[in-house]
Structure 1
Amino acid sequence: MNGTPAPVTGTWVHAFEEDTPAEAVYRPEGHPLPPARRPRRRLEFRADGTLTERRPAPDDRLAEREGRWERRGPGRVAVAFPGGHGAPVAVSVSSAGDRLVVER
């Protein structure tokens, strides 16, 4: 981790209106998003390399799963969830730090 947090640290909220078939788009918590009928997925990246994903469960509450992230170059990280709970994914952050993209 080099002791320096990557620009990915913090909480990101799924802006599904901006998704494409190849990527899911997230915005920093506090970024203005339109109202949504369903809860929005959230990713919380911590400086220690851990993360929490909060995603809508069948009852519309947010279910949590823990994972890890590590830097893979400027503005890029890899995310993995232990115990076979999801395949590793690549994540990139815009140079302005206002858009996080998860590759599908």
Structure 2
Amino acid sequence: MNGVPPEVTGSWIHAFEEDTETTAVYRPADHRLRPARRPRERIAFHPDGTFVERRPAPDDRLGEVRGRWERRGADRIAVTFPEGRGTPFDITVLSRTGDRLVIAK
């Protein structure tokens, strides 16, 4: 990474079958993943700082939560929910290639 933060903007879908004990793998939203019985979490980092997370709700459909994201160094992203619809959290980006975003669990 040479001290340059990896670009994370875009829409990502969780490729949970590629996860390890310590990492979570996301692919671009248009990446073809094999069908799964459980819904796949989706996250989006928009250039204007908007963060969108779509995660399984109690009825297994994807519920959407909107927030804000900002860089906190070369590999850290802070996510907040100004409207109080979620608990703030940090994301540690371990790597980003053209079609793969890897974050720490």
Shorter-chain TM range is 0.7 to 0.9
Q: Give CA deviations for 1:30-58 in whole Å, capped at 9, x if unaligned.
A: 21211101221100110011110000111
Q: RMSD of aligned C-alpha atoms?
A: 2.1
Amino acid at match of 1:9: T
Percentage of identical aligned residues: 55
Residues 43 and 95 of structure 1: CA distance in aligned 2, closer, same or farther (over 3 Å): closer
Give the structure-1-normalised TM-score. 0.78
Distance 2:85 2:44 in 1: 20
Alignment of 1:18-97 (within 5 A): 18-74=18-74, 76-82=75-81, 83=84, 85-92=86-93, 94-97=95-98
Answering whether residue 99 of structure 2 is matched by residue 98 of structure 1, we say yes
Give the structure-2-normalised TM-score. 0.77
SS of aligned partner of 1:94: strand
Q: Which runs of 5+ in 2 are unaligned?
A: 1-5
Aligned residues: 98
Q: Give CA deviations for 1:4-63 in whole Å, capped at 9, x if unaligned.
A: xx7211110000001122221111112121110122110011001111000011111111
* 8 Å Cα contact 1:69-1:77 kept in structure 2: no
Residues 59 and 95 of structure 1: CA distance in aligned 2, closer, same or farther (over 3 Å): closer
- Deviating more after overlay: 16-25 vs 91-100: 91-100
In the TM superposition, what is the alpha-carbon distance from 1:94 to its structure 2 partner?
3.3
